[in-house]
Amino acid sequence: MAAVPHLHPGAWWLWALGLGTAATRTTNPLLLALLLVTSAYVVLTCRPDTPWSRSYSAFLHLALAVLLVRLFFVVVLGSPVPGSHVIVTLPEVPLPDWAQGIRLGGRVTAEGVVFALYDGLRLATLLVCVGAANALASPSRLLKSLPGALYEAGVAVVVALTFAPHLIADVQRLRAARRLRGRPDRGLRGLLQVALPVLEGALERSVALAAAMDARGYGRTADVPARVRRTTTALTLGGLLGVCAGTYGLLTAAGGTYGLPVLLAGVVAALAGLRLGGRRSPRTRYRPDRWTPRACLVAGSGVAVAALMTLAGSADPEALHPGVIPLTAPTLPLWPAAAVLLGLVPALLPAQLPARLPARLPVPLPKEPSS
């Protein structure tokens, strides 16, 4: 694994959210598979050797479980998509009249299974993109980058995000120790004997985290005038309402004229409210993360993938959403596939971007002769 310099954690999250947004814009299995391969290659190339970087495999297993559950529901409960190609006919359980619209068993059609496969693969790809961000970005460094107004909420989110990586690391460590001692580490027996030490370690880590937060003065607030507090509340609530109204306007045909201005005004008001709200949480940052040119390229590649896939969905929706009635094989659209490949930019960047040379090199002065 190549050594990759530390990037701003927000850059990795913007990159991953861009790929996740692109996954929500299509049900084409070829494009979704390309997104999965892209995120996996970047994770294998750029992830650091840390406990949270090993959580990517857990998200892969979670995505596979979601896909299987989606297919299971279609087989057992049926699909709203009608079809003529019957795969199998299961015994149907009669239900009472108040359960109209729900069935157990019956015909399982190829169209319904394919539709469920496309839909489940989209959700699985979104989960894998979130897992990629969790494996690449340090949660503690992400917490340092949050504004002061979101510090308390950020602590809760970061603690929740770090629970899974530490849990996976504890399970792997205990299973390795049991293998060295010649004890079983698989099956129900091994799981039960590993669960208790893992739970004990989680409780000890929680107590240590609470003590560290108490020692560092977590929860303290500064004295802020009432006028500033009221202004902060008004800006934050007004900004959130503006974001909701602007988003609704962009999604509807009637609100196309006012959607974008209201959305921008809401974002500006919400940012101003967060800026003022940060005065209540005085904090200092030791060696804060900087937005380097490399971080901007990483974040920009994810945003570009999301933007181009959104444009592709407006220009050629049939290519991004292959139909299942009639049942046809999906095709790979060329320029949306090229847009997805922009997500490989983090893995293709050099280890260090070349620094700009000074305009004038210093000339060494000659040494004076010693007397």
pLDDT in tens, 290-320: 888 888 999 999 999 999 998 888 888 888 8
Q: At which residue do the structure tokens 């059609």 appear? A: 109
108 and 137 housed in the same domain: yes
Tell me how many degrees the CA angle 316-322-326 measures, rounded to the nearest 5.
125
13 and 137 housed in the same domain: yes
Please check whether residue 117 lies inside any domain of the structure.
yes
240 and 298 housed in the same domain: no
13 and 141 housed in the same domain: yes
Q: At which residue do the structure tokens 């989606």 appear? A: 70
* pLDDT at position 159: 67
298 and 338 housed in the same domain: yes
Tokens at 230, concatenated: 């009221």
Confidence of residue 89 (pLDDT cuts 50, 70, 90): confident
Phi, psi for residue 133 in degrees, rounded to 5: -65, -40
* pLDDT at position 34: 94
Q: Name the strand (E) or helix (H) holding 92.
A: strand 86-93
Nearest of 102, 157, 95 to residue 130 by alpha carbon: 157
Please check whether residue 237 lies inside any domain of the structure.
yes
261 and 309 housed in the same domain: no
Task: State pLDDT tens for residues 322-349.
Answer: 888 878 888 888 888 999 999 999 988 8
* pLDDT at position 285: 64
Out of 262, 280, 298, pick the residue that ends a domain. Answer: 280
CB 202 within 8 A of CB 167: yes
Buried (b) or exposed (e) across 177-193, using 16+ Cβ within 10 A? ebeeeeeebeeeebeee
Residue range of the domain that includes 259: 226-280
28 and 122 housed in the same domain: yes
51 and 132 housed in the same domain: yes
Looking at the predicted structure, is the pLDDT value of residue 68 above 90?
A: yes
42 and 117 housed in the same domain: yes
Helices (H), the chain: 9-24, 29-46, 56-77, 110-136, 139-144, 151-180, 187-215, 226-251, 259-277, 293-315, 317-320, 334-340, 345-348
- The chain-wide mean pLDDT, for the chain, equals 78
121 and 240 housed in the same domain: no
Please check whether residue 29 lies inside any domain of the structure.
yes
Q: Tell me the CB-side half-sphere exposure of residue 187, using CA atoms within 13 A.
A: 3
Out of 238, 257, 280, pick the residue that ends a domain. Answer: 280
Please check whether residue 236 lies inside any domain of the structure.
yes
312 and 247 housed in the same domain: no
* pLDDT at position 136: 87
What is the number of domains present in the chain? 2
Mean predicted confidence (pLDDT) in 222-245: 80
Q: What CA–CA distances, in Å, run from 10 to 2, 40, 289, 309?
A: 21, 19, 10, 21
Percent of the chain surpassing pLDDT 70: 75
Q: What CA–CA distances, in Å, run from 185 to 6, 168, 169, 179, 237?
A: 35, 14, 15, 7, 52
Q: Tell me the CB-side half-sphere exposure of residue 143, using CA atoms within 13 A.
A: 16
Please check whether residue 269 lies inside any domain of the structure.
yes
Q: Which residue has the higher pLDDT, 181 or 128?
A: 128
Buried (b) or exposed (e) across 278-295, using 16+ Cβ within 10 A? bbbbeeeeeeebeeeebb
Task: State pLDDT tens for residues 3-51.
Answer: 455 778 888 989 998 999 899 888 899 999 999 999 999 999 888 877 6
257 and 131 housed in the same domain: no
* pLDDT at position 163: 67
* Amino acid identity for residue 55 in this structure: S
Q: Which residue has the higher pLDDT, 108 or 216?
A: 108
Residues 179 and 186: their CA atoms lie apart, in Å, by 10
Please check whether residue 212 lies inside any domain of the structure.
no
CB 162 within 8 A of CB 50: no
Tokens at 311, concatenated: 């444009």
Q: 16: buried, middle or exposed (CB in 10 Å: 19+, 13-18, 0-12)?
A: buried
β-strand 86-93 against 104-109: which pairing, if any?
A: antiparallel
Please check whether residue 210 lies inside any domain of the structure.
no
Q: 162: buried, middle or exposed (CB in 10 Å: 19+, 13-18, 0-12)?
A: buried
CB 303 within 8 A of CB 18: yes
Out of 280, 304, 319, pick the residue that ends a domain. Answer: 280
Q: What is the CA radius of gyration of the chain?
A: 26
Most confident of 27-36, 170-179, 269-278: 27-36
Please check whether residue 166 lies inside any domain of the structure.
no
Looking at the predicted structure, is the pLDDT value of residue 255 above 60?
A: no
* Amino acid identity for residue 4 in this structure: V
CB 175 within 8 A of CB 160: no
* pLDDT at position 221: 65
* Amino acid identity for residue 127 in this structure: L
Handedness of CA 132, 135, 137, 139 (dihedral sign): positive
* pLDDT at position 19: 93
